[in-house]
């Protein structure tokens, strides 16, 4: 028996990078997985490569679509045990450069998207009597990064919101654990694009890349830990996986 046998996971941003690897790892442990994204061709291809995995189109900013996605997950698999709020993107620009539109876009996808996901999933998990939510934060949300103030702000917000929602679930007596993960630089399409755009002496990602980037599995194994009974005593925390970036 796998560690996720009988459980159903919903993963946003599952067409690429960390979300796709989360889906592969959870499915390999027996989970039935729904991935959602806005990149439909990629999402369908990822789902086709994973046994028991389904793809749904979903822009995480779309409040009404959240209700449909949860309903479609329940219709397909009968329950919802795990939500990974993973969808994200980055737009570069310091506070002097970034437009308000680009600020809002990042905050809406990552912070609002995470809020909407938690709000849509919790009533169903509460009815199940158990659940695990994993929100994808970033070391940027802990230490600040001058080139990405909106991204860092959204991720810092995710860390604080995760804790607040975990406290709520505990106060309500729900056995729903809510945690965030803060990765440092991990090799994915997002960081490949960032490394190509950033100057070679950039004090953030480029210099940390010199210490060695992580692999998607480094994050997905922690998602499995928090999603499964391995993490049954962990809630309201932010797990940092950054090869020491935040202690340097």
Ligand X SMILES: NC(=O)c1ccc[n+]([C@@H]2O[C@H](COP(=O)([O-])OP(=O)(O)OC[C@H]3O[C@@H](n4cnc5c(N)ncnc54)[C@H](O)[C@@H]3O)[C@@H](O)[C@H]2O)c1
Q: Is 162 in the site for ligand X (CB under 6 A)?
A: no
Q: Is 186 in the site for ligand X (CB under 6 A)?
A: yes
State in Å, rounded, how far the first CA of the chain is from the last one: 41
Q: Which of 8, 53, 136, 239 binds ligand X (CB under 6 A)?
A: 136
Q: Which of 9, 60, 169, 176 binds ligand X (CB under 6 A)?
A: 60
How many residues at the interface with ligand X, by CB under 6 A? 29
Q: Is 153 in the site for ligand X (CB under 6 A)?
A: no
Q: Which residue has the tokens 């506070």?
A: 95
Q: Which residue has the tokens 């560690």?
A: 3
Q: Is 185 in the site for ligand X (CB under 6 A)?
A: yes
Q: What DSSP string runs through 202-236?
A: -TTHHHHHTT--B-HHHHHHHHHHHHSGGGTT--S
- Chain center to CA of 164: 17
Q: Which of 51, 144, 189, 212 binds ligand X (CB under 6 A)?
A: 189
Q: Is 87 in the site for ligand X (CB under 6 A)?
A: yes
Instruction: List beta partners, residue 214.
Output: 186
Q: Is 109 in the site for ligand X (CB under 6 A)?
A: yes
Q: Is 117 in the site for ligand X (CB under 6 A)?
A: no
Residue 233: how many other CB atoms lie within 10 Å: 7
Task: Check if the beta carbon of residue 19 is closer than 8 Å to that of residue 244.
Answer: no
Q: Is 61 in the site for ligand X (CB under 6 A)?
A: yes
Q: Which of 7, 10, 13, 226 binds ligand X (CB under 6 A)?
A: 13
Pick out residues in 204-233 that bind ligand X (CB under 6 A): none
Nearest CA to 43 among 53, 31, 30, 32? 53
55 is catalytic: no
Query: Measured between alpha carbons, how far is residue 25 from residues 4, 29, 202, 209 in Å?
Result: 10, 7, 33, 25
Choose the catalytic residue: 55, 103, 151, 174: 151
Enumerate binding residues for ligand X (CB under 6 A).
12-13, 15-19, 37-39, 58-61, 86-89, 109-110, 136, 138, 183, 185-186, 188-191
Which residues does the annotation mark as catalytic?
151
């Amino acid at each position: 028996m796998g560690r996720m046998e009988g459980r159903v996971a919903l993963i946003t941003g599952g067409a690429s990078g960390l979300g796709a690897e989360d889906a592969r790892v959870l499915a390999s442990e027996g989970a039935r997985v729904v991935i959602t994204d806005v990149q439909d061709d990629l999402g369908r291809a990822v789902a086709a490569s994973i046994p028991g995995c389904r793809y749904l189109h979903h822009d995480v900013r779309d409040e009404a679509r959240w209700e449909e996605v949860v309903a479609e997950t329940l219709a397909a698999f009968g329950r919802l045990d795990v939500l990974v709020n993973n969808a994200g993107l980055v737009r570069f620009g310091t506070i002097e450069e970034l437009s308000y539109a680009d600020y809002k876009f990042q905050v809406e996808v990552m912070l609002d998207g995470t809020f909407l996901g938690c709000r849509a999933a919790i009533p169903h998990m509460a009815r199940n009597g158990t659940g695990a939510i994993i929100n994808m934060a970033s070391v940027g949300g802990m230490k600040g990064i001058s080139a990405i103030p909106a991204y860092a702000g959204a991720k810092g917000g995710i860390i604080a919101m995760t804790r607040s929602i975990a406290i709520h679930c505990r106060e309500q007596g729900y056995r729903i654990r809510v945690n965030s993960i803060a990765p440092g630089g991990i090799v994915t399409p997002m960081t490949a694009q960032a490394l190509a755009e950033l100057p070679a002496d950039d004090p953030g990602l480029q210099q940390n890349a010199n210490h060695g980037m992580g692999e998607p599995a480094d994050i997905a194994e922690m998602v499995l830990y928090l999603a499964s009974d391995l993490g049954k005593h962990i809630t309201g925390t932010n797990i940092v996986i950054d090869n020491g970036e935040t202690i340097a």
